Amino acid sequence: MPADRTGPQRTGTSVARHSAARTVVVWDALRDVLAADRSASVVDIGGGTGGFAVRVAELGHRVTVIDPSPDALAILARRAEESGVADLVSARQGDLDSLLDLVPPGSADVLLCHGVLEIVDDSATALHTLAQVLRPGGVLSLLVNQRHAAVVARAMAGHFVQARALLDGPGDGAPRRFTAEEVTALLSGAGFDTTALHGVRVFVDLVPSSLVELEPGSAGALLELEKAVATRPEYLPLATQLHALATRR
Ligand SMILES: C[S@@+](CC[C@H](N)C(=O)[O-])C[C@H]1O[C@@H](n2cnc3c(N)ncnc32)[C@H](O)[C@@H]1O
């Protein structure tokens, strides 16, 4: 992973600014998708503590979060309560294998799968399962780690052996990282049409946070830069993550 320069000296505001720069591209894309529907049925598989789910519910949509971690779901419930959207958020303990037991097939308008595909055994099978949860025409928001940026980050940190090993894919049992071509091929094979592909965290993980914090206006400018490069194909290999929007055929 690129260097995370989070240190004890960082303030809550600066952490929030960095977090905004990390998520702005995904959130903007998702908000546009959700704007098409006043009250969508949204499923967030591996939604964890609800960083996205609660924001989606704040827009008036019904969100079912499925996650194997009871601790994460407890935090999600508290967050939803504090944000006044507990009635719109339901938390179900489960995982990708039990997804179709927890959510009726063809019932979701929008499905979030952020940071999960890299930790399941078989990403192609997982995407086939996700396709069954969505109604035809429903939209998948998929966020995965990107391989090329991870190679560069390891090399820049002096971990040349690790960088070399990552070049051709992960070792046994290691989290997967995907290229843009792999993501679109996997989506197509599972019955999705990719409608947008975004590079996420192209610069934010590379820039020391002190640089962003000391210069007035830097945080906002970095955010705008992340948004500007997100859809430029030449920057995709530099992005820590790839975000795809894909429609179920
Ligand atoms: C990297 S976190 C991502 C959390 C959240 N989606 C986000 O973007 O902030 C991965 C999440 O996937 C969950 N998870 C792990 N294995 C899973 C599986 N087999 N199926 C579904 N979720 C899983 C974890 O409990 C964790 O909450």
pLDDT of 171 reads 67
**pTM assigned to the model:** 0.93
Q: How far apart are CA 202 and CA 25, in angstroms?
A: 10
Report CA(195)–ligand 1 centroid distance (Å): 24
Angle at 202 between CA 201 and CA 205, to 5 degrees: 60
pLDDT of 7 reads 41
Determine which residue's CA is closest to atom 3 belonging to ligand 1.
Answer: 115
For the chain, the average pLDDT equals 91
Say what percent of the chain tops pLDDT 70.
Answer: 92
pLDDT of 8 reads 40
Determine which residue's CA is closest to atom 27 belonging to ligand 1.
Answer: 48
Q: What is the DSSP string of 176-230?
A: P-B-HHHHHHHHHHTTEEEEEEEEESSSTTTS-HHHHHHSTTHHHHHHHHHHHHT
Pick from 96, 116, 140, 242 the residue to mutate for probing ligand 1's pocket: most ligand atoms within 8 Å of its CB: 116
Determine which residue's CA is closest to atom 20 belonging to ligand 1.
Answer: 95
Q: Which residues pair with 66 in a beta bridge?
A: 45, 92
Q: What is the pLDDT of residues 123-137, one digit of tens each?
A: 999 999 999 999 999
Report CA(65)–ligand 1 centroid distance (Å): 10
pLDDT range class, residue 1, cuts 50, 70, 90? very low
What 3-state DSSP class applies to 112?
strand
Q: E strands, the chain, where?
A: 41-45, 62-67, 89-93, 108-114, 134-145, 192-200, 241-248
Ligand 1 binding pocket, CB closer than 6 Å: 45-48, 51, 67-69, 72, 95-96, 114-116, 119-120
What integer is the mean pLDDT of 159-164? 93
pLDDT of 122 reads 93
Determine which residue's CA is closest to atom 4 belonging to ligand 1.
Answer: 48
Q: Is the dihedral of CA 51, 39, 224, 217 positive or negative?
A: negative
* Atom number of ligand 1 nearest to Cα 96: 20
Q: What is the pLDDT of residues 148-160, one digit of tens each?
A: 999 999 999 999 9
pLDDT range class, residue 10, cuts 50, 70, 90? low
